[in-house]
């Protein structure tokens, strides 16, 4: 009976170590997955911000060109009149 008890204790200990190892692997996998999702979200936010900034830059360049053109022709009109 003592041999059986030692064997079952050894099996329990082995099962515990196996489960502990699986739990560590599961936690590591979850940590890596969370880090990957976080990097992906940060990349998407940066991309969205850069798209908005580019649109604002284009809009400001077009507005500047229009304002300068109108001011130039108004000044020319005043000088020639």
Residues 17-68: pLDDT tens digits? 999 999 999 999 999 999 999 999 999 999 999 999 999 999 999 999 999 9
- Residue 47 pLDDT: 95
How many whole angstroms separate alpha carbon 38 and alpha carbon 29? 14
Could you tell me which residue, 4 or 51, shows the higher pLDDT? Answer: 51
DSSP letters spanning 35-73: HHHHHHHHHHHHHHHHHHHHHHHHHHHHHHHHHHHHHHH
**Rounded distance between C-alpha atoms, residue 23 and residue 15, angstroms:** 12
The pLDDT value recorded for residue 34 is 97
**Residue 17 three-state SS:** helix
| pLDDT for position 4 | 66
The residue with greater pLDDT, 42 or 8, is 42
Residue count (the chain): 81
């Amino acid at each position: 009976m003592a041999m059986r008890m030692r064997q079952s204790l050894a099996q329990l200990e082995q099962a515990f170590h196996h489960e502990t190892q699986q739990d560590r692997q599961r936690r590591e996998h979850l940590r890596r997955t969370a880090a990957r999702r976080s990097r992906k979200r940060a990349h998407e936010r940066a991309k969205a911000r850069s798209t908005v900034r580019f649109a604002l830059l284009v809009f400001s360049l077009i507005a500047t060109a229009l304002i300068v053109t109108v001011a130039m022709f108004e000044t020319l009109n005043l000088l020639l009149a």
